Amino acid sequence: MTMIRKVKAIIDGYNAEPAQLISVLQDIQAEYRYLPREAMLEVSRRLEIPASRVYSVATFFRAFSLKPRGKHLISVCLGTACHVRGAQRIVESLERHLDVRAGETTDDMRYTLETVNCLGACALGPIVEVDGEYFGQMTTRKIGQIFRKYK
Ligand code: FES
């Protein structure tokens, strides 16, 4: 199914109801792992919501991405509690391992690396989240665990 047809089907599933904007975007994100531009324009047209509003909702929530994301999303917490326990070293180690900078996706589209502010489990810091799973008290040595689990 083409992207536009798929997006139309998602929108129809919500009866093209403008109040369902976030649910529609969540479904598109789940399908493509990001929100393609054409998809957002289609949402804007079909739900009769200005594109600027669709974009502002899409950029407000961390769960949404406007850029293609890899199969696995690795988020390193750089909130204060994690930062003072060496989270920056974890980021640098992951950047070297993946050969990308934070915010980027590997060429093979397997991993996206990003940094976030406080995942809400400060006592376990430094924390790395992979596809929703938390790895606490992370060290540069334990990074291999992540890649063994999320190949
Ligand atoms: S600062 Fe990292 S979980 Fe709160």
Cα(45)–Cα(54) distance, rounded to whole angstroms?
10
CA dihedral 103, 105, 107, 109 (to 10 degrees): -170
Q: Consecutive 10-residue runs of the chain (151 residues): their mean pLDDT?
A: 92 97 96 95 97 96 90 95 96 96 95 94 95 94 89 79
pLDDT of residue 113: 96
Tell me, rounded to whole angstroms, the distance of Cα 61 from its chain centroid: 10
Q: Two tokens at 74?
A: 């690795």
Decide whether any atom of ligand 1 lies within 6 Å of the 124 Cβ. Answer: no
Burial class (CB in 10 A: 0-12, 13-18, 19+), 88: middle
Cα(128)–Cα(103) distance, rounded to whole angstroms?
14
pLDDT of residue 19: 97
Q: Are strands 133-135 and 111-116 parallel, antiparallel or unpaired?
A: unpaired
Rounded to the nearest whole angstrom, what is the distance from the C-alpha of residue 114 to the centroid of ligand 1? 14
Tell me, rounded to whole angstroms, the distance of Cα 124 from its chain centroid: 22
pTM: 0.81
Cα(80)–Cα(26) distance, rounded to whole angstroms?
29
pLDDT of residue 129: 96
Tell me, rounded to whole angstroms, the distance of Cα 67 from its chain centroid: 9
pLDDT of residue 136: 95
Question: Helices 3-13 and 37-47 sit at what angle, rounded to 10 degrees?
Answer: 40
Decide whether any atom of ligand 1 lies within 6 Å of the 118 Cβ. Answer: yes
